[in-house]
Amino acid sequence: MSKGFLVILSSPSGGGKTTLRKEILHKNPSLYYSVSCTTRPPREGEEEGKDYIFLPEEEFRKKIEQGEFLEWATVHGYLYGTLKETVEEKLREGKIVLLDIDVQGARKLRKIFPESVYIFILPPSWEELERRLKRRRTESPPKIKERLKIAQWEIRFYTDYDYLIINDKVEKAVEEILCIIEAEKRKMRRNEKVIEKWLKK
């Protein structure tokens, strides 16, 4: 069976990656979304096991000690991590696995899965990023200021990614990401066929 691969989506807080991820999965249900674990409390409308696996900090740290995460990081004061077992199982099944993670996690995964597809998402302007954060109404003005400061740091790492998507219109950005995934899938399948021919010689 063909080997699967990872597609990593990253963006500053408020960049829109969660909205894009949901639309991508709606349009292409064959993709497998790896639900991250986090110690932060659920936001309004978030579902356990669908948006995140919400864990007490003690349980999260126990999983770190037991080596259960492919990557983990502290983001905005909370712990986030990607479970190893499920991701590796889906890759063995030949699935394309979609991850919605921050810059720190993506940099760690690049060392483990350099052949994966890394996509960085940005809003069309700094003003739009600030507007989106305020519109969420989930953080106080000081917290928004802190998130914007972290966003300045995160944006510096866009060159570590294979693709940059400007999320000015959701439908357009979704189509661009789906086209990237399809192109990468064809390229990887083509490479597999070439290798298979060489191994038969």
pLDDT bracket for residue 136 (50, 70, 90): confident
Domain ranges of the chain: 5-34+95-200
Tens-place pLDDT, residues 82-107: 999 989 999 999 999 999 999 999 99
Tens-place pLDDT, residues 1-42: 457 999 999 999 888 898 999 999 999 999 999 999 999 999
Between 109 and 136, whose confidence is greater?
A: 109
What are the backbone angles phi and psi of residue 34, rounded to the nearest 5°? -85, 110
As a whole number of Å, the CA-based R_g of the chain is: 17
Q: What is the DSSP letter of 1?
A: -
Q: What is the DSSP letter of 33?
A: E
Percent of the chain beyond pLDDT 90? 72
Q: Pick 5-34+95-200's CATH classification: 3.30.200.20, 2.60.120.380, 3.40.50.300, 3.20.20.140.
A: 3.40.50.300
Torsion 177-24-185-88 (CA) sign: positive
DSSP secondary structure string for all residues of 127-182? HHHHHHHHHH--S-HHHHHHHHHHHHHHHTTGGGSSEEEE-SSHHHHHHHHHHHHH
User: How confident is the prediction for the chain on average, in pLDDT?
Assistant: 91
